[in-house]
């Protein structure tokens, strides 16, 4: 990992050197990359610790066992299940049908009662996840590995929102924010020659 980070730092220092037309040789850049790696690693660890304060808390989630007589269908990569005692024209079933037919992010719906829907989505970005959270009024979220869940409401329907890939999206965002912060630090240089 340290070697990869050295390569990233080397690339950033090379870029900044070229942009600012600094009189550094390749050997200077190499030494800077090696010397800066432990310092920047510590800074990134601090940033990661700060991000851990704002990212969802990881909890252990278990799959809920449902009745074996549930009606399950699959169409075009989307799994749909409904409890046999729930009418197909119930509010939760109608919402599930609407979301399956209108939203390509939906990968599974489960209707255990007439007013409860478990919705699994696979958003392509965090903006997509935020859209789902706003649409379904999902407040707090829980994370277990790459799976993120939250409970919200859509009218009278309680919706359990699941995002199996959202943890990976959150991790990618944290890495991007750390990299942007690092670029900002590296871009700040004193006026004049640094030596």
Q: Encode pLDDT of 44-87 as tens digits.
A: 777 666 665 555 555 544 455 554 567 788 877 788 888 988 89
pLDDT at 61: 47
| DSSP tag of 47 | H
Q: What is the pTM of this model?
A: 0.56
**Domain residue spans of the chain:** 2-54+171-187, 71-164
Rounded to an integer, the average pLDDT of 139-161 is 89
Q: Which of 33-37, 56-60, 147-151, 163-167 has the lowest mean pLDDT?
A: 56-60
Rounded to an integer, the average pLDDT of 12-16 is 83
Can you give the length of the chain in residues? 195
pLDDT at 158: 93
Residue 130 CA to its chain's centroid (Å): 10
Q: Does the structure show a pLDDT above 70 at 195? A: no
Residues with Cβ < 8 Å from 104, sequence gap 6 or more? none
Q: Does the structure show a pLDDT above 90 at 160? A: yes
pLDDT at 93: 92
Average pLDDT for the chain: 79
What does the alpha-carbon distance between residue 185 and residue 195 come to, in Å, rounded to a whole number? 18
pLDDT at 179: 65
With CA atoms as reference, report the closest residue to 159 among 82, 92, 83: 92
Report whether 93 contacts 114 (CB < 8 A): yes
Q: Which of 124-128, 149-153, 178-182 has the lowest mean pLDDT?
A: 178-182
pLDDT at 176: 67
Rounded alpha-carbon distances, angstroms, from residue 47 to 29, 31, 32, 111, 153: 25, 24, 21, 41, 34
pLDDT at 62: 47
What does the alpha-carbon distance between residue 177 and residue 136 come to, in Å, rounded to a whole number? 27
């Amino acid at each position: 990992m340290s070697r990869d980070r050295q390569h990233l730092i080397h690339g950033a220092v090379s870029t900044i050197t070229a942009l600012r037309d600094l009189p550094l040789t390749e050997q200077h850049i190499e030494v800077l990359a090696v010397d800066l790696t432990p310092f920047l690693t510590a800074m990134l660890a601090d940033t990661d610790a700060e991000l851990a304060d704002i990212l969802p808390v990881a909890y252990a989630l278990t799959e809920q066992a449902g009745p074996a007589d549930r009606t399950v269908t699959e169409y075009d990569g989307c799994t749909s299940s409904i409890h046999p005692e729930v009418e197909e024209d119930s509010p939760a079933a109608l919402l599930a049908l609407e979301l399956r037919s209108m939203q390509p992010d939906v990968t599974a719906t489960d209707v255990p009662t007439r007013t409860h829907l478990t919705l699994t989505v696979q958003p392509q970005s965090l903006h997509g996840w935020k859209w789902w959270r706003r649409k379904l009024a999902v407040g707090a979220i829980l994370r277990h590995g790459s799976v993120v869940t939250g409970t919200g409401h859509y009218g009278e329907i309680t919706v359990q929102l699941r995002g199996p890939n959202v943890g990976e999206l959150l991790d990618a965002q944290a890495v991007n924010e750390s990299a942007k912060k690092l670029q900002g630090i590296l871009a700040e240089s004193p006026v004049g020659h640094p030596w």
